[in-house]
């Protein structure tokens, strides 16, 4: 695929995000997306043969973007507990900064259906969640290096932390409550994970 084709696909995906965030899934059509992108509707169907193909591409775009955002915020040389703090802050920062992407994702997951009329959120996904894997690896490193308690269930704790982060998914960009929320969440995680209740640095 040429650079121009890649740019055109990204333009369509970004217009689709805008359409979903502002008008909702029910009003999302190739015609409306094309209008936002200021292109001919035939170009949308040329690059994405069906609505679902576009939606899957959009979800992949959002997930990759979120993973990159978090990874770029993590320090390789800091203690694991500080990297968990960075992970929490980066995740909450992503939600504040890319609110439209979050709304678009929710619109798709809870409203879109597959060709056999199955809701997107009910689909089986054998691929591990890249965002979860980042946090998983940090917690596992902390256990292996004896910085964290050895009896931690990594999978469950990862779900708890990300579930708590997702509670703030619609926080506006300048929301100070989201920042305080992150501080309190980190304190609780630190007290739970660290040997000595988080007092041993």
The domains of the chain are located at 1-49, 64-193
Tell me if domain 1-49 and domain 64-193 are identical in fold: no
Determine whether domain 64-193 maps to CATH 1.10.357.
yes
pLDDT digits (tens, 9 = 90+) for 150-195: 999 999 999 999 999 999 998 887 778 999 999 999 999 999 999 7
| Helix residue spans in the chain (DSSP H) | 3-23, 30-37, 41-47, 51-73, 80-97, 99-111, 130-144, 154-166, 176-193
pLDDT digits (tens, 9 = 90+) for 90-111: 999 999 999 999 999 999 999 9
Query: CATH code for 1-49?
Result: 1.10.10.60
What rounded mean pLDDT belongs to the chain? Answer: 92
The C-alpha atoms of residue 68 and residue 150 are separated, in whole angstroms, by 29
Residue whose C-alpha is closest to residue 37's, from 12, 6, 7:
12
Backbone angles phi, psi at 194, to 5 degrees: -80, 140
Global confidence as pTM: 0.89
Assign 200 a pLDDT band (cuts: 50, 70, 90): very low
Assign 124 a pLDDT band (cuts: 50, 70, 90): confident
């Amino acid at each position: 695929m040429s650079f121009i084709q890649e740019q055109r696909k990204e333009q369509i995906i970004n217009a689709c995000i805008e359409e979903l965030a502002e008008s909702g899934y029910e009003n999302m059509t190739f015609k409306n997306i094309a209008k936002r992108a200021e292109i001919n509707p035939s170009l949308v169907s040329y690059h994405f043969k069906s609505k679902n193909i576009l939606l899957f591409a959009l979800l992949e775009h959002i997930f990759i973007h979120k993973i990159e955002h978090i990874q770029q915020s993590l320090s390789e040389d800091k203690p694991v507990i500080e990297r968990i703090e960075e992970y929490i802050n980066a995740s909450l920062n992503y939600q504040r900064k890319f609110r439209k992407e979050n709304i678009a994702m929710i619109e798709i997951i809870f409203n879109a259906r597959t060709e056999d009329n199955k809701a997107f959120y009910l689909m089986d996904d054998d691929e591990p969640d890249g965002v979860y894997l980042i946090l998983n690896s940090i917690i596992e490193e902390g256990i292996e290096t004896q910085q964290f308690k050895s009896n931690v269930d990594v999978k469950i704790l990862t779900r708890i932390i990300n579930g708590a982060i997702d509670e703030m998914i619609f926080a506006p960009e300048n929301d100070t409550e989201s920042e305080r929320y992150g501080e309190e969440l980190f304190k609780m995680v630190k007290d739970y994970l660290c040997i000595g209740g988080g007092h041993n640095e």
